[in-house]
Amino acid sequence: MNQSYNKKTVRAWTFYDWANSVYSLVISTAIFPIYYESVAQVNGSDIVPFLGFEVTNTVIYSFTLSLSFFIVAVLSPLLSGIADYSGRKKSFLRRFCYMGATACCALFFFDDVNKLPFALAAVLIASVGFWGSQVFYNAYLPEIAPKQLQDKISAKGYALGYIGSAGLLIACLVLIEGHSWFGIESKGFATRLSFLITGIWWAGFAQITFKGLPDPKKRKSIKWKTAIQGYRELGVSKNVIFNIPVLKRYLLSFFMFSTGVQTVILLAGVFGSKTLGLSSDKLIITILLIQFLGIAGAYLFSKLSSLFGNFNALFIAIMVWMLICGAAYLLKKEDPWVTYKFFVLGSVVGLVMGGIQSLARSTYSKMLPPRDENTTFFSFYDVTEKIAIVLGTFSFGFIEQITGDMHYSALSLSLFFFISAILLYSAKRIEPLPVKSKPD
């Protein structure tokens, strides 16, 4: 499975988190959603024309994200099968990286509501590029590190991502808020310039990963029969996984909590801006709190897993997430303390966000049966996560559309965490996780 542990290879692998996490923060979470909500308006109304229809701006944004994850869910088995067969895992990682980074740069041209279809197309492509590359990136973990180090290495990757993305976000904020210092006339132009910088950062720092990850020993030509090999392998992986009861229950639990976690990450910014009426500077402060506390959270839950086991650490995180969604429902725009309550809630999100993402990836990696190729197993993992995000973002937008209030959308996410906790508890009762991280 993993033949040897090479520190340089591991360092190169973790650096992709540094490179691509700027997309997650600047484009998915912080600056772009706030900018989008301000630009995608007609005479101050959030009802905008889109392809001949009148739609709510945040609803069509949610649906666009849903579509992007659906595309990744459909494509990743195809691509992982080709990558496994041809030995071109790094090649596909590189291509999806460049596709996503280019789309980030294209958002520079979104300066008017009339360009909404173009902007949403760029959002779609950037999302497909980011998440598509994650399929191949995650598949390297069991190949480059022994099981007892995977929690720690996974956490290190997320921590690097938080540090790098927070650093770029601060630089972008300085550019936006101090645009006149740099001879830039408008805040809008400076904001769009930050999207361009994000794409360049992503593609540029990814070169460290591309240089350091091992090249395949064998490269085979891609034939037409290879195109469906990924779906066949996905079926094989499903049969293997579903024949291991504890792994099956864990993956179902992962599906449910991913529905909630990723939806919160993607749509918290528009929730704070639109529903709570928070200004962009307060939202950015909250997001920075989440980023820096996310670093601590990733290592905290790595330590908790070493002390109490992966399942128990994940169960704690899931219960906290359920409380977060309930607390978000109770936040009201009219509350004079709403800003400070949002800060507190964001701090809690930061502590559990990095922890649950890092631990989810390494827990799954540890539970895999020994095989030479891991891309298809991680393709199944990623497909599961993407379908979960499709469900989460679509339900979030759909509930807002029928109720007219994002509060109910936020509350609905707590149900996913509740079901996840039940499934994880049942998985633990079947069989404790056989491999735990060693304490530092």
Cα separation, 375 vs 412, whole angstroms:
33
Q: Distances in Å between the alpha carbon of 303 and those of 35, 61, 283, 326, 359?
A: 38, 37, 30, 27, 10
In sequence order, the 6+-apart residues with CB closer than 8 A to the CB of 333 are: 275, 276, 277
* Residues 338, 407 contacting (CB under 8 angstroms): no
Cα separation, 303 vs 317, whole angstroms:
13
Q: What are phi and psi of 333, to 5 degrees?
A: -60, -35
Q: What is the 3-state secondary structure (H, E, C) of 233-297?
A: HHHHHHHHHHCCHHHHHHHHHHHHHHHHHHHHHHHHHHHHHHHCCCCHHHHHHHHHHHHHHHHHH
- pLDDT score, position 358: 77
What are the residue boundaries of the structural domains of the chain, listed by start?
7-211+235-430
- pLDDT score, position 195: 96
- For residue 422, how many other CB atoms are within 10 A of its CB? 14
- pLDDT score, position 306: 83
Cα separation, 253 vs 427, whole angstroms:
9
pTM: 0.78
- Domain 7-211+235-430 sits in CATH at 1.20.1250.20
- pLDDT score, position 224: 56
Q: What is the 3-state secondary structure (H, E, C) of the chain?
A: CCCCCCHHHHHHHHHHHHHHHHHHHHHHHCHHHHHHHHHCCECCECEEEECCEEEEHHHHHHHHHHHHHHHHHHHHHHHHHHHHHHCCHHHHHHHHHHHHHHHHHHHHHCCCHHHHHHHHHHHHHHHHHHHHHHHHHHCCHHHHCCHHHHHHHHHHHHHHHHHHHHHHHHHHHHHHHCHHHHCCCCHHHHHHHHHHHHHHHHHHHHHHHHHHCCCCCCCCCCCHHHHHHHHHHHHHHHHHHHCCHHHHHHHHHHHHHHHHHHHHHHHHHHHHHHHCCCCHHHHHHHHHHHHHHHHHHHHHHHHHHHHHCHHHHHHHHHHHHHHHHHHHHHCCCCCCCHHHHHHHHHHHHHHHHHHHHHHHHHHHHHHCCCCCCCHHHHHHHHHHHHHHHHHHHHHHHHHHHHHCCHHHHHHHHHHHHHHHHHHHHHHHHHCCCCCCCCCC
pLDDT, one tens digit for every residue, the chain (440 residues):
444 578 888 899 999 999 999 998 889 888 898 899 888 888 878 888 887 778 888 889 889 989 998 998 888 777 766 666 666 778 889 999 999 999 999 999 999 888 999 999 999 999 999 988 987 887 787 778 777 777 778 778 877 887 898 899 889 989 998 999 999 989 899 999 999 999 999 999 999 999 998 876 666 565 656 656 667 777 877 888 888 888 889 999 999 999 999 888 888 878 888 888 888 778 888 888 887 787 788 788 888 888 888 889 999 999 999 999 999 999 998 999 999 999 999 899 988 987 888 788 788 877 777 665 556 677 788 788 889 989 998 998 889 888 888 899 999 999 999 999 999 998 887 765 544 444 33
What would the two tokens of residue 321 be? 């997430």
Cα separation, 139 vs 378, whole angstroms:
6
Cα separation, 95 vs 12, whole angstroms:
17
Cα separation, 440 vs 434, whole angstroms:
19
- pLDDT score, position 110: 95
Q: Which residue has the tokens 């995608």?
A: 40
